[in-house]
Amino acid sequence: HEQCWDTMRSLVFLAVLLPSAVGAAEFLQGPQNATALLSSTAKFNCTVSKDWVALIWELKDVPVLMIMPQVGAVGVSDRYDMQNYTTLDTFTSELIIHNVSRQDSGPLTCGLLNAGNKDATLSVEVPGGLEILNNSLEVQWNQSATVLCRARGWYPSPGMAWMLDGSPADPGSYSTESSIDDTGLYVSTSTLLVTPTHNLTVECQASIPALAAPLRANASLVVTEGPPPVLVPAPGQPRIDRTVLIAVTVSVSAAILLVLLIILIVFCCKRKRRPSE
């Protein structure tokens, strides 16, 4: 890398001596902030006007790639690549960083000889693992159950959410706590409190900005006991109102009790008559 940097400094010195170095090139658009997943590719564009002399890309204040019209591109390693897009009046340099690591996170600069710098930031994010700790749950009907979901090895701390049978859970029904492990990565644990009245599929989600879609983990929650049975009439039969059913039951019970009471009175009267006779 040091040898490449010496080469770049020599090329810049030669560029200043060239007649074209007195050109009035300027930035038309500098690089934009970018977020990339670990081990993926990050890209930055820098557009300048014509008559430019030398363009240098720096990552965390270290030159990684230099381009000159007369020489072409010189990079410090194969990890840094480029594409050029030229029009009649503009030149666009696209810096491509392969296999990005967490150490690549930081400021990035596009420098134009005799015109200053334009800055941006590269953020490298790490998607970790995700699991529901109690992935087989049984709970009694209408009783509360606690479901735990853990995201381990993430950077930055992931946003976590829950779905119940495909619908978002109330944010008030869960809470999330995060900490940093010995490797500098985040461990987040989300706790969901749910009171089911039927079998449920619960889904835990974790996301970071660089992920196109959240990571998901699923579990089944089985209700072991249900509510009292509800009488449902057979097809074609009229539905029996519960109030009417209760009234009929009470009436029949009262009639049976009255008959039993009359029989008891008659029996007692007959026993009293026998001694007198």
Task: List pLDDT tens digits, range 217-247.
Answer: 999 999 987 665 554 555 555 554 556 556 6
Return the pLDDT at 20: 47
Q: Is residue 15 part of a domain?
A: no
Clarify whether residues 113 and 40 are in a common domain: yes
What are the distances in angstroms from CA 184 to CA 126, 140, 211?
11, 41, 19
Q: Is residue 12 part of a domain?
A: no
Q: Is the peptide bond before 228 cis (omega within 30 degrees of 0)?
A: no
Residue 188: Cβ within 10 Å count: 20
Clarify whether residues 119 and 77 are in a common domain: yes
β-bridge partners, 138: 222
Whole-angstrom distance, CA of residue 108 vs CA of residue 58? 6
Clarify whether residues 96 and 61 are in a common domain: yes
At 114-140, the pLDDT tens digits run 888 999 999 999 999 999 998 668 888
Q: Is residue 162 part of a domain?
A: yes
Under DSSP, the state recorded for 32 is -
Clarify whether residues 109 and 86 are in a common domain: yes
Clarify whether residues 105 and 141 are in a common domain: no
Q: Is residue 85 part of a domain?
A: yes
- CATH number for the domain that contains residue 170: 2.60.40.10
110-138: buried (b, 16+ CB within 10 Å) or exposed (e) per residue? bbbbebeebebebbbbbbbebebeebebe
User: Which helix (DSSP H) or strand (DSSP E) does residue 119 occupy?
Assistant: strand 116-125
Phi, psi of 263 (to 5 degrees): -60, -40
Q: Residue 141: give the domain boundaries.
A: 129-224
111 half-sphere exposure, CB direction, 13 A CA radius: 18
Domain boundary among 99, 125, 151: 125
At 100-114, the pLDDT tens digits run 999 999 999 999 988
Clarify whether residues 52 and 73 are in a common domain: yes
Clarify whether residues 169 and 103 are in a common domain: no
Q: Is residue 139 part of a domain?
A: yes
What are the distances in angstroms from CA 233 to CA 146, 189, 239?
37, 48, 6
Clarify whether residues 78 and 159 are in a common domain: no
Clarify whether residues 145 and 100 are in a common domain: no
Overall domain count for the chain:
2
Domain boundary among 92, 125, 158: 125
At 39-96, the pLDDT tens digits run 999 999 999 998 898 999 999 999 999 998 888 888 888 899 999 999 999 999 999 9
Clarify whether residues 215 and 155 are in a common domain: yes
- Determine the residue type at 251: S
Clarify whether residues 41 and 133 are in a common domain: no
Nearest to 206 by CA among 125, 132, 133, 130: 130
Domain boundary among 125, 155, 171: 125
Task: Find where tokens 């998607």 sit.
Answer: 127
Cβ within 8 Å of residue 157, ≥6 positions away: 178, 186, 188
Clarify whether residues 151 and 120 are in a common domain: no
